[in-house]
A and B are shown apart, each in its own frame.
Chain A
Amino acid sequence: MSTKYSSGKKIIFVFLIFTVVCGLACSQQPIGQSNNLTGSSGSGTVSLLGKGASFPDPIYKKWVSEYGKVNPNIRIDYQSVGSGAGQKALLDKTADFGASDEAMSDEDLKKGDGEILHIPTVLGAVVITYNLADVKEPLKLSAETISDIYLGNIKKWNDERIKKDNPNLTLPDTDILPVYRADSSGTSAVFTDFLSKTVPAWKEKVGANKQPSWITGVGTGAPRNDGVMGQVKQTPNSIGYVELTFAKANNLPTAQIKNKAGNFVEASLEGVSAAAASSVGQMPEDLRVQITNAEGENAYPIASYTYILVYKNQPDAGKGKTLADFLWWAIHDGEKFTKDLHYAPLPTEIVKKAEAKINSMTAGGKPLRQ
């Protein structure tokens, strides 16, 4: 008994030290003294939380980091959880702003607690990336081929239908592993929208959706752009679709995609801008638009705007003002970071329209930016 008791004392001692150390670690700032709870006090820190698309995550991370350098009192956190989760966060009000590559549906907009604005921020390309160590030249893919791969009709890399567009490549006799998004994703919505527009069989069997009805047994799912890219990078003979910046940052190849004009186009900023240019004139008032399979010789066919979603009438004036200022900064100063991260900046006409949207944001009936 006595030995047990003394070892007990030792344990309690160690435990106490642990608790004290933890306590010290946490008490660098007193808990509860919280001027950033409401985020509205003039001198204190304002915190904003955004959740959503992983497609623009690299540039949003860059933006909030740069914006934080210029405005040390503003803490904007962006969490990449997928477009579907971003839309849900806005509807559930578990975030100050949402983000999505897919415009919200009319039905979902009705679930919102007030009018929801779509602020386009940048344009991006959904690229088809693949892990084929011995294929050095970029693969050429048509919508039909991509569709057949994801429908499970093409199972091997050296299938005739792939070879037809790539006569110069020696493709391996290995099984293709298509990787898709396991979560509800704007990237999936853009990808499936393109295929639904171009391939009738796709439209019928899978459809265009954030979380489409994938054919059972064809591929494997991974969360977020990061997850799909990670899976492709880790798995030989796989294929996946992600935003251009993910493929570039990981030195993985991107396929040239056949566009509406019949040309195989490499994913590039120019290709994305060309895709956007053809529809600028017909931009609807609420800015909700799809630009897949666009007209134009050099238009990259799987391109998309990506949006930040905000309530028009902000519940908190301080936070709302911060949010509006940040959005304004993003579509002006922020656009200069697009090039390094392989996004395309908004066309000038769209910046004007986005400005109007930002200026229409109010709190308690008062406009936030005038």
Chain B
Amino acid sequence: MTTLTAACAVFAIVILLIILSYIAVRGITSINLEFLVDTPKPVGEGGGIGNAIVGSVMMTLLATLIGLPIGIGAGVYMAEFGNNWFGSTVRFISDTLIGIPSIIIGIFIYTLVVLPMGRQSGLAGGLALAIIMIPIVARTTEEMIRLVPNSMREAALALGAPQWRVIWNIVLPAASAGIATGVMLAIARISGETAPLLFTALNSRFYNYFFDQPMSSLTVQIYNYATGPFDIEHNMAWAATLILVGLILTINIAVRYLTRKRF
């Protein structure tokens, strides 16, 4: 039996290695400085993904700025005050929101933000990503805060500190390692999302630093290049994938390395 179960594990690892080696081998040949800083050009004239990198980073950043405070706040609420019907409801809804297909969130933001605004925008894209991020951060925060021993809270309260100071100065710092881990993984997750950006951020040919304009992203660019017919664009899709997957795996491995003592 051990052989069989070990074979399953080996199979999964082989698949991972096949995927990663394809990305590495096919991606590395098309990466150069021009590719990293240039904007898309008509087929056959070269071009690059500089604006897509900036767009992805900006929307991820916006999503983090929105998602982080709300997610952490909700997580603290669930952990510290959440032992009632409201807390359970939020917990339950967060868990199900994590599982809702991201394309649905794209549609939701399209009707809520894009139509009233009259155009696709980086703002809409960032909001869609934030909605994906919030429940992940909230649930991680809650779990991490619950790990903080009650004796720490009690000691601080006994010294006369108000509850909010206890949470802010004692509980949150103690849980910060775990929360940061969760946040990093959430960032890795949303930076790979495509479906919620299709109708919200659309795409753009230009470097765009304004959130009210359509914004390019690595993932949408990969999708467009991959589904098209042009070999040169396929190569660019692999190269863009190498950048994206490289970034995501780096975050995952870094988080794992920094937290390895706990496992």
Contact = CB atoms under 8 A, between A and B. Distances in A.
> CB–CB under 8 A between A and B in the complex?
yes
B202 interface: yes
Given A31-B209, A65-B42, A94-B118, A11 B181 contact: yes
Contacts of B119: 49, 93-95
A79 B181 CA distance: 37
Contacts of B114: 94
Given A15-B180, A26-B58, A31-B211, A77 B205 contact: yes
Contacts of B115: 92, 94
Contacts of A8: 176-178, 180
A59 to B, nearest CB: 9
A61 interface: yes
* Chain B interface category by residue count: 35 or more
A226 B114 CA distance: 26
Interface string B110-126: 00001100111000000
Contacts of B187: 18
Interface stretch (A132-140, A152-160, A161-169, A227-235): A227-235
Contacts, number: 129
Interface string B43-63: 111000000001001101100
B43 A22 contact: no
Contact of B57 (A3, A22, A65, A226): A22
Contact of A223 (B209, B214, B227): B227
B206 A77 contact: yes
Given A26-B58, A94-B120, A227-B228, A77 B214 contact: yes
Contact of B214 (A1, A3, A79): A79
Interface string A61-88: 1101100000000010111010000000
A11 B41 contact: no
Contacts of A223: 227
B97 to A, nearest CB: 24
Given A61-B43, A94-B120, 16 more contacts: A7-B259, A11-B184, A11-B259, A22-B60, A26-B61, A28-B209, A31-B211, A37-B212, A49-B213, A58-B43, A61-B41, A79-B204, A92-B115, A94-B119, A95-B119, A226-B224
> Which 9 pairs, one residue from A and one from B, show the smallest C-beta to C-beta distance?
A8-B177, A229-B229, A226-B228, A11-B180, A230-B229, A61-B42, A29-B209, A62-B42, A227-B227
